[in-house]
């Protein structure tokens, strides 16, 4: 089964659109009406939905905290918005989504570019 993605509110629409053109299952925080939520709540939401959370935001501290204390979370995929192009994000996320499922990435932080 392919990995489904949850895009936080800081992700450019061009990334979401590019992934959808590649048939990647994506939902955004705006579509889910959670775009004003705090980072821990967004990560909880992505986890409840069984989706990896993609972000340009600093969710790394929250993911690291959860790893240290053993709190389960789906996954955080991070790309620094000034160091990874939109095209590279789309390409790398499409690869990850096509070869992994949620059980492959649970409780992990994945950094882009691959």
**On the CB side of 21, how many CA atoms lie within 13 Å of its CA?**
9
- Residue of 87, 101, 103 whose CA lies nearest to 112: 87
Instruction: Give the strand pairing for 52-55 and 5-7.
Output: parallel
Looking at residue 106, its pLDDT comes to: 97
- Tokens 């955004």, residue located: 28
Task: Read off the pLDDT band of 59 (50, 70, 90).
Answer: confident
State what percent of residues in the chain have pLDDT above 70.
99
DSSP 8-state code for residue 56: S
pTM reported for the whole predicted model:
0.94
Instruction: Evaluate if residue 57 carries a pLDDT over 90.
Output: no
**pLDDT of 68-101, one tens digit each?**
999 999 999 999 989 999 999 999 999 999 999 9
- Residue of 32, 40, 39 whose CA lies nearest to 16: 32
List, in order of start, the domains of the chain with CATH numbers: 5-112 (3.40.50)
The beta-strand segments (E) located in 1-114 are 5-7, 26-28, 52-55, 76-79, 109-112
């Amino acid at each position: 089964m392919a990995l489904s993605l949850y895009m936080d509110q800081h992700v450019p629409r061009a990334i979401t659109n590019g992934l959808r053109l590649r048939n990647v299952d994506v939902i955004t925080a705006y579509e889910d009406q959670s775009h004003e939520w705090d980072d821990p709540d967004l990560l909880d939401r992505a986890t409840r939905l069984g989706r990896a959370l993609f972000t340009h935001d600093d969710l790394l501290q929250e993911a690291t905290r959860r790893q240290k204390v053993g709190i389960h979370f789906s996954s955080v995929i991070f790309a620094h918005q000034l160091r990874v192009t939109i095209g590279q994000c789309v390409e790398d996320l499409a690869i990850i989504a096509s070869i992994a499922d949620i059980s492959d990435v649970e409780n992990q932080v994945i950094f882009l570019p691959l």
